[in-house]
Structure formats: structure tokens, C-alpha cells
């Protein structure tokens, strides 16, 4: 097994899972346990009108994605070291597909939640009345 571009990309993908899992699990902890809604459905730096309403969706999304990525982080080296399967990690194609689907699914689900939390307003924007 020589070091080539494919091996480098595999290591980059695997090592990139560590900060993703940390950030996603930390966000889930902050939203679900600490009840900090500062990172819930932010769009252009502004929170939604009712962030508490969207907090369970954001928290569960981050918890689920963080758990899947943590499962990959534990399962791949465990299979390489012991040969015991904790999931479908016996080939690069399987664990990289699960990681890729998790990352893209998180991006798309975050977009959907943010779009629902900040509904699009049709028509002209009205200026607030001032006295």
C-alpha cells in the first residue's frame, strides 16, 4: 500500500469527521440540554422569530448527524484493528458513502429548517411607521 492521492483523500475525509462530530454534538448539547437557542436556524446573522419552536428539530438533527459520524469514527479503526464489524465499514466505499450522505443530508436539512423558520415575505417591504 503506497501513499498516493487516493490514500491522502481518504485520510483527509476521515480526519475531517473529527471536528464535524465535535461541532455537531456540541451544538446538540447546547440546544437540547443547555437550552441555548443562539445557534438555532440562523439566517443572515438573525435568529427566527421563535427559536424555541425550531430548537428540537435543530438539536435532533445535530445529535443524529453527530452520532452517525461518531459511529464511523469508532467503527473504521475498530474494524481495521480487530476485524470486528460495528457497521458496514469493511470497505472504503461503504463508510465514505455513509459519511458523505450524512454531511449532505445535514446541509440540506439545515437549509430546510432555516427556510421554514424564516418564511419568505411576498410583496413590497413596508417601512415601519414613525411618529
Place of cell 458496514: 88
Those residues of the chain that have pLDDT short of 70 are: 1, 129-131
> Is residue 62 a contact partner of residue 92, using CB atoms and an 8 Å limit?
no
> Is residue 39 a contact partner of residue 45, using CB atoms and an 8 Å limit?
no
pLDDT given for residue 34 in this prediction? 92
Q: φ and ψ at 46, to 5 degrees?
A: -110, 135
Domain count along the chain: 1
pLDDT given for residue 98 in this prediction? 92
What b-and-e string marks burial along 51-86, b requiring 16 or more CB atoms within 10 Å of the CB?
A: beebbebbbebbbbbbebbbbbbebbeebeeeeeee
In a domain, 86, yes or no: yes
pLDDT given for residue 52 in this prediction? 86
- The pTM of the full predicted model, rounded to 2 decimals, is 0.82
Range of the domain at 51: 15-117
C-alpha cell at 119: 418564511
SS3 43: strand
Count of other CB atoms within 10 angstroms of residue 100: 11
pLDDT given for residue 77 in this prediction? 86
pLDDT given for residue 123 in this prediction? 72
In a domain, 1, yes or no: no
In a domain, 125, yes or no: no
Amino acid at each position: 500500500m503506497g501513499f498516493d492521492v487516493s490514500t491522502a483523500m481518504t485520510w483527509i475525509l476521515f480526519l475531517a469527521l473529527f471536528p464535524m462530530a465535535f461541532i455537531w454534538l456540541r451544538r446538540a448539547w447546547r440546544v437540547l440540554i443547555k437550552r441555548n437557542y443562539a445557534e438555532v436556524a440562523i439566517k443572515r446573522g438573525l435568529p427566527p422569530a421563535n427559536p424555541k419552536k425550531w430548537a428540537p428539530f435543530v438539536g435532533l438533527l445535530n445529535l443524529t448527524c453527530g452520532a452517525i459520524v461518531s459511529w464511523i469514527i469508532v467503527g473504521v479503526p475498530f474494524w481495521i484493528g480487530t476485524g470486528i464489524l460495528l457497521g458496514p465499514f469493511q470497505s472504503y466505499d461503504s463508510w465514505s458513502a455513509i459519511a458523505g450522505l450524512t454531511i449532505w443530508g445535514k446541509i440540506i436539512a439545515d437549509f430546510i429548517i432555516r427556510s421554514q423558520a424564516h418564511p419568505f415575505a411576498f410583496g413590497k417591504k413596508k417601512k415601519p411607521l414613525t411618529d
